[in-house]
DNA sequence: CAGGAAAATGTCACCGGTTACATATCGCGA
DNA sequence: TCGCGATATGTAACCGGTGACATTTTCCTG
């Protein structure tokens, strides 16, 4: 492996001069500059970033902990974060946890060991100790989409789940529905709690009673949505409208619906959090709440780089707007 | 920042002993082991992975260059690769190139600088010089899905695009279609060439003439699919069936179809490469060729770790099977 | 042409683990 | 008790840039 010393020797200069030529900063005479560049060329020298990181105390790495990078929402967020990172000369280390808190802890520990310069967290549970260590080590951290309750001082980038859910459910209620159900997310997940709260609020405001059996906590993945929807549809009396926690669960829910020959929207109205390119083309087109996933990621990146550049970001929550797409999956009940 | 020397001092041992306790290998007396562990605990010591990487000459990083991590196929591949990486104690550095060859070159250069232990390439163009440098530096490399023509010796993990396309198109022909169109991908992309070749082969075998105007080269993104499909649909005589290069283009194509009130499958049959969770629920359900994206990523990982472990992998191409899902987007022509 | 500041360049300690090698310690048989 | 191999432990060079500081060169002023 050819090192900076080899280049220095070949060019007949000191390592410092080589570094100066390559990294800029202090000027170097044209003559030497050229000699160095030629040596670099001839030796096919590639500077060792690991050594540079060690010396500088900066890795140029951003850690991103997600539950599953294959989830479209997550992937969009990742992309937004990455673009922001690239803008600052950074790269992104992505790790999926599958909502496994042990795995989460491992990932955070590994981020700490690698001394990533900042961490974005888009995952599930508390990960308390892991995050605590990041904080202790002064690694800028931001939560994305959701944040454990006990970590309020760390910034969060999110959408207003509660209001968005409330509005969507109100839309159902305004259509005339009085018996609503929800395919919710895992109880421990803050966004699940918020969307459920929005659902309940809207119902309560309208004076509607929510039957407990109509609210199913789906574990994540399409399978969870399927199971939950099955339970709802197999009730002796079905609700006339269902609100889904996210698009993945909604897809599972659609499977259950199809399996039972339930007609949407005639027999059942459906609204879901999270939009998808294909929802407009589903039979019927799915009414959905769109989250600006890309922007969420980008915003998280901005926050992190602000911190890296020395700004104080504690307590800075960023709330991005949602968009409600009314399509064809809802109708008045009893049609 | 507390270092191994601090721990050594606190425990009253040498740094070597600390390293031995933490990394295993040579045994350490129980007494000292305990003192070290306590010191680690008390000082909240986190080993510096950068220093370790420099010293060991291994980073435990896998570089993954993709065109866009937000693409569902890509994200699945990434996930497969990541799971394999985790199994080996590795993490994945993901970078998107947006098919920009300059960006690709930058990413590869940065992978080289970071001395990632291996690289998986799922991107577009030649990236010739960048890849050449990886090879020169002995960094194990694998292509995923597609490989530039001049780099045959580097292993590739893929599906058999050509046959899959041929079979799908034959399915259309067997339905009675004689005037077929294709929304193809960018000409430079090997998979685009292969799928197009499969399309042409099937047509040729059946003695069908493909009208040049019916084959549109869509640049990528839904927008590209939309534009291409518009051009096809605006022909004086429309083909009766269209084969789409991938699911993203297909979504764009669906937009064009909807805009023009073309009925699928009555007026137009549609088949696309790449499946999606939602295709079964689209109106009509989309007939599609599924690629085992996750497995492709996992397989790529296996190949890389085999190389890292010293195996010779040059020339080892892995071809994974596709699955053809017949749904509702195709019918006999003229119905 | 001396003198001195500015600009260019060189030297080298340092970042923090790792590991080859040297040294110390222990156990056991003679 | 001595001696030797086996085992445990310590020492320090090394990985490859970086950048503070020292030194040299350049160039301008008087």
With a cut of 80, say whether residue A284 has pLDDT above it.
Answer: yes
CB B324 within 8 A of CB B283: no
pLDDT score, position A133: 83
Which residue on chain A is closest to B264 by alpha carbon?
Answer: A281
How many angstroms separate the CA of A53 from the C1' of C4?
A: 39
pTM over 0.75: yes
Residue A333 in any domain: the answer is no
Within a domain: A107: yes
Q: In terms of domains, do A247 and A284 share one?
A: yes
Residue B332 included in any domain: no
Q: Are residues B62 and B150 in the same domain?
A: yes
pLDDT for the residue numbered A265: 95
List of B residues 33-72 with CB within 7 A of strand C: 45, 47-48, 51-52, 54-56
Tell me if B283 and A278 make a contact (CB, 8 A cut-off).
Answer: no
- The beta strands (E) that lie in chain A are given as 61-66, 91-96, 118-122, 141-144, 156-159, 180-184, 215-217, 241-244, 269-273, 287-290, 318-320, 323-325
Q: Which of A138, A145, A98, A101 is nearest to A119 (CA)?
A: A138
CB contact under 8 A, A48 and B75: no
Q: Which two tokens stand for residue A126?
A: 């508390």
> What is the mean pLDDT of the segment spanning A215-225?
89
In tens, the pLDDT along A143-174 reads 999 988 888 789 999 999 999 999 999 999 99
Please check whether residues B146 and B67 belong to one and the same domain.
yes
Instruction: Write the pLDDT tens digit of every residue in B205-222.
Output: 999 999 999 999 878 889
DSSP one-letter code for B115:
T
- Whose CA is nearest the C1' atom of nucleotide C18? B55
**Burial call B174-197: b when 16+ CB within 10 Å, e when fewer:** eeebebbbbbbbbeebbbbbbbbe
Nearest to B70 among A54, A76, A109 (CB): A76
Q: Where among B13, B28, B47 does a domain terminate? A: B47
Q: What is the CATH number for B273?
A: 3.40.50.2300
A16 nearest nt, CA–C1': C10
Provide the shortest C-alpha distance from residue B37 to chain A (in Å). 17
B299, B139 Cβ separation under 8 angstroms: no
Crossing angle, helix B15-23 and helix B30-43, to 10 degrees? 90
- Which residues are within 7 Å of strand D by their Cβ atom? A 1, 3-5, 15-16, 19, 22-23, 45-48, 51-52, 54-56; B 12-17, 20, 26-29, 31-32, 51, 54-55, 57
Question: pLDDT (tens digit, 9 = 90+) per residue, A22-71?
Answer: 998 788 999 999 999 999 999 999 999 999 999 999 999 999 999 999 99
Contacts made by residues B38-45, CB under 8 angstroms, sequence distance 24+: B38/B11, B39/B7, B39/B10, B39/B11, B40/B7, B42/B10, B43/B2, B43/B6, B43/B7, B43/B10, B44/A133, B44/A136, B44/B2, B45/B2, B45/B3, B45/B4, B45/B6, B45/B7
Residue of B nearest to A110 (CA): B49
Q: Which residues 60-119 on chain A approach chain B with CB closer than 8 angstroms?
A: 61, 68-72, 74-76, 78-79, 82-83, 86, 91-96, 109-110, 112-115
Tokens 């990486």 identify what position?
B85
The set of strand C positions with any atom below 7 Å of a protein CB reads: 7-12, 14-20
Is B96 in Cβ contact with A95 (below 8 Å)?
no
Residues of B in contact with A71 (CB under 8 A): 75
Domain range holding A30? Answer: 4-47
Which A residues 16-55 have CB within 7 Å of strand C?
16-17, 20, 26-29, 31-32, 51, 54-55
> Residues 148 to 207 of B: which have CB under 8 A from any A CB?
none
Residue A331 lies in a domain: no
Instruction: Indicate the SS3 state at residue B55.
Output: helix
Lookup: tokens for A317: 């929550």
Domain assignment present for residue A27? The answer is yes
pLDDT for residue B54 = 97
Interchain CB distance below 8 Å, B282 and A279: no
CA distance A14 to chain B (A): 21
**A287 shares a domain with A219:** yes
Nearest CA in chain A to B67: A79
A221 touches chain B (CB under 8 A): no
Q: What is the CATH number of the domain that holds A8?
A: 1.10.260.40
Q: What confidence score (pLDDT) does residue B181 get?
A: 97
Looking at the fold, whether A153 and A301 belong to one and the same domain comes out as yes
Instruction: Write the DSSP symbol of residue B14.
Output: -
Q: Minimal CA–CA distance to B269: which of B162, B180, B137, B174?
A: B180
Q: Of B44, B75, B113, which has the smallest distance from its Cβ to A136's Cβ?
A: B44
Average pLDDT across chain A, whole number? 94
Which residue positions in chain B have pLDDT lower than 70?
124-127, 335
In a domain, B135, yes or no: yes
For residues A72, A77, A79, A80, the Cα torsion angle rounded to the nearest 10 degrees is 150
My answer on whether B262 and B149 are in the same domain is no
- Residue A307, classed as helix, strand or coil, is helix
CB contact under 8 A, B72 and A72: yes
Separation in Å: D3 C1' and A236 CA = 90
Is A242 a member of any domain? yes
| Per-residue pLDDT, B18 | 95
Same domain as A239, residue A166 = yes
> Considering the domain boundaries, does residue A330 fall inside one?
no
Do B40 and B183 belong together in one domain? no
B335 part of contact set with chain A, CB < 8 Å: no
| Shared domain check, B298 and B261 | no
Mean pLDDT confidence for A69-91 = 96
Q: What does the pLDDT average to over A10-22?
A: 95
B interface test, pick of A22, A67, A75 with most B CB neighbours within 10 Å: A75
Chosen for mutation from A91, A111, A265 (greatest number of chain B CBs closer than 10 Å) is: A91
pLDDT class of A259 with cuts at 50, 70, 90: very high
> Is any Cβ of chain B less than 8 angstroms from the Cβ of A237?
no
Chain A residue with minimal CA distance to B75? A70
Based on the structure, what is the number of domains in chain A?
A: 3
Strand D nucleotides below 7 A of a protein CB? 7-12, 14-20
The Cα A52–Cα A104 span in angstroms is 28
Cβ neighbours, 10 Å, residue B109:
16
A278 with B279: Cβ contact below 8 A: yes
A312 lies in the same domain as A287 = no
Instruction: Let me know whether A67 and A43 are in one domain.
Output: no
Phi and psi at residue B273, in whole multiples of 5°? -75, 150
Same-domain status, A175 and A277: yes
């Amino acid at each position: 492996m050819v090192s900076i010393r080899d280049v220095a020797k070949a060019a007949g200069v000191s390592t410092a001069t080589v570094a100066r030529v390559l990294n800029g900063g202090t000027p170097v005479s044209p003559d030497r500059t050229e000699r160095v560049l030629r040596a670099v060329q001839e030796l096919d020298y590639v500077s060792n970033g690991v050594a540079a990181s060690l010396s500088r105390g900066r890795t140029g790495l951003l850690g991103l902990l997600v539950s599953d990078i294959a989830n479209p929402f997550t992937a969009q967020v990742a992309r937004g974060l990455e673009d922001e990172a690239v803008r600052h000369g950074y790269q992104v280390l992505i790790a999926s946890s599958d909502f496994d808190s042990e795995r989460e802890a491992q990932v955070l520990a590994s981020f700490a060991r690698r001394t990533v310069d900042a961490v974005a967290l888009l995952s599930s549970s508390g990960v308390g100790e892991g995050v605590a260590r990041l904080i202790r080590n002064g690694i800028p951290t931001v939560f994305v989409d959701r944040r454990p309750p006990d970590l309020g001082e760390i910034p969060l980038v999110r959408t207003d789940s509660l209001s968005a859910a409330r509005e969507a459910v109100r839309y159902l209620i305004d259509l005339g529905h009085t018996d609503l159900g929800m395919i919710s997310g895992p109880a421990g997940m803050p966004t699940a709690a918020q969307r459920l709260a929005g659902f309940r609020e809207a119902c309560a405001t309208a004076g509607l009673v929510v039957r407990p059996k109509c609210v199913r906590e789906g574990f994540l993945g399409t399978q969870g949505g399927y199971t939950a929807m099955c339970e709802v549809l197999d009730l002796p009396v079905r609700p006339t409208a269902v609100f889904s926690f996210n698009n993945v669960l909604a897809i599972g829910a659609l499977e259950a619906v199809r399996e039972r020959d339930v007609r949407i929207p005639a027999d059942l109205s459906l609204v879901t959090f999270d939009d998808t390119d294909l929802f407009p083309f589903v039979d019927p087109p799915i009414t959905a709440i769109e989250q600006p996933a890309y922007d969420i990621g980008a915003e998280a990146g901005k926050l992190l780089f602000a911190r890296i550049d020395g700004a104080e970001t504690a307590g800075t929550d960023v709330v991005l707007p949602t968009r409600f797409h009314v399509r064809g999956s809802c109708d008045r009940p009893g049609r």
